[in-house]
């Protein structure tokens, strides 16, 4: 699983940060792509990334402020112009359907694929999607307008076949291993009957990624983040601007870090950084780390790798 940060700024683009958009690439699922928010010029950012619109099948919008949705009409059109024909589903708060349908109609944009738009009621909390491999739960956060957080939960994976145990049982490598991995009961040439389930290790817990929209510190964010492997949370302001953050419905570095610590998060990634802190990001990161050590501040084109086995983590910067 790769998490790509296409836009990490707050409000308006700056010379270093575009406005909000984050993408998850599910490498073990044929590279399918989910996008979270689509601020202005997101498709321009995509040109400098490995993201392919043809692999994009879901977009999740946190709220309807322009820095989170103004890139949508262009991106939807480009996906069609580039030959995208597979269905695309958009989830978001009430109003997202009218915004998309109005801009497409007025601009006379013709989409060559099926577009589904699912609006989520205010104050809704619960599952909104599941396909057996991935489940998405939504939480209503505390911003100056209705705003959502999304929790992505991957299904547990079957444990690995214990090859050493099989060898000790005098079962040599071969086609039988595939049957045993499928938990089949087989009869060996010597007459012994063995059950594949006895040679499968413990299941591997699925990964959990929590993505918060713009929000003040609130109880819903705690539930969103609970025991997540990765929490992506805004940090529009530093600690000394706490009153300003609260006034405009945002969080500080300290507040995001406190949530991560209390919710038992493994890794905290901060985004939605105000341009007032340009060239001061290391100071912001140091401030957040003083409250929660495993914290990183994302920059545009920052890539976070979260592997299944042992939840290994790796970070790439553009």
**The domain spanning residue 268 has which CATH number?**
3.60.15.10
Q: Tell me, yes or no, whether 142 and 220 share the same domain.
A: yes
Q: Dihedral sign for Cα 167, 170, 171, 174, please.
A: positive
What is the reported pLDDT for 308?
74
**Res 119: pLDDT:** 98
- Indicate if 167 and 31 belong to the same structural domain: no
> How many structural domains is the chain composed of?
2
Task: Clarify whether residues 189 and 46 are in a common domain.
Answer: no
Clarify whether residues 184 and 35 are in a common domain.
no
CA–CA dist 16, 289 (Å, integer): 22
Same domain, 140 and 30: yes
The whole-chain average pLDDT of the chain stands at: 95
| 298, 303, 137, 236 alpha-carbon torsion, rounded to 10° | 10
pLDDT of residue 310: 55
Question: What residue ranges of the chain have pLDDT lower than 70?
Answer: 309-315, 317-318
- Terminal Cα-to-Cα distance of the chain (whole angstroms): 17
Instruction: Note whether 151 and 285 are same-domain residues.
Output: yes
Structure token pair of residue 235? 């940090």
Q: Which of 37, 57, 67, 198 is catalytic?
A: 67
E strand intervals along the chain: 2-7, 21-26, 32-36, 56-60, 88-93, 115-120, 126-130, 134-140, 148-154, 185-187, 193-195, 208-211, 230-234, 267-271, 295-297, 303-306, 313-316
Last residue of a domain, one of 174, 199, 224: 199
Domain that includes residue 20, residue range: 2-157+203-316
- Pair 232, 213 in one domain: yes
Of 236, 230, 239, 254, which Cα lies nearest the Cα of 307?
A: 230
63 vs 147: CA distance, rounded Å: 5
pTM of the predicted model as reported, rounded to 2 decimal places: 0.92
Tell me how far apart the alpha carbons of residues 149 and 247 are, in angstroms, rounded to a whole number: 20
67 is annotated as an active-site residue:
yes
Residues 286 and 185 in one domain: no
Both 192 and 83 in a single domain?
no
Whether 260 and 290 share a structural domain: yes
């Amino acid at each position: 699983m790769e998490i790509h940060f296409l836009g990490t700024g707050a409000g308006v683009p700056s010379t270093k940060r575009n406005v909000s958009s984050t993408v998850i690439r599910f490498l073990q699922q044929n590279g399918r792509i989910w996008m979270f928010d689509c601020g202005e010029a997101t498709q321009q950012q995509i040109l400098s990334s490995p993201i392919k619109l043809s692999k994009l099948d879901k977009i999740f919008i946190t709220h309807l402020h322009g820095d989170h949705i103004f890139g949508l009409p262009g991106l939807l059109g480009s996906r069609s112009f580039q030959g995208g024909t597979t269905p695309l589903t958009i989830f978001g708060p009430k109003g997202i359907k009218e915004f998309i349908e109005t801009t497409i109609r007025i601009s006379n944009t013709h989409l060559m694929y099926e577009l589904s738009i699912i609006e989520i009621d205010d104050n809704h909390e619960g599952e909104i999607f599941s396909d057996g491999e991935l489940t998405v739960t939504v939480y209503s956060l505390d911003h100056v307008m209705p705003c959502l957080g999304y929790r992505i939960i991957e299904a547990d994976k079957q444990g690995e076949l214990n090859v050493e145990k099989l060898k000790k049982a005098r079962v040599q490598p071969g086609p039988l291993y595939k049957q045993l991995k499928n938990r089949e009961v087989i009869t060996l040439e010597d007459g012994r009957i063995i059950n594949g389930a006895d040679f499968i290790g413990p299941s591997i817990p699925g990964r959990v990624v929590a993505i918060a929209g713009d929000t003040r510190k609130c109880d819903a964010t705690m539930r969103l983040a609970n025991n997540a492997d990765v929490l992506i949370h805004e940090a529009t302001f530093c600690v000394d601007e706490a009153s300003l953050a609260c006034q405009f419905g945002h969080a500080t570095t300290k507040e995001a870090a406190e949530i991560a610590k209390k919710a038992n998060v493994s890794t905290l990634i901060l985004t939605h950084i105000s341009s007032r802190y340009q060239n001061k990001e290391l100071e912001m990161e140091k401030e957040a780390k003083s409250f929660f050590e495993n914290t990183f501040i994302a920059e545009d084109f920052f890539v976070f790798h979260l592997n299944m086995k042992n939840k290994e983590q790796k970070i790439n910067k553009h």
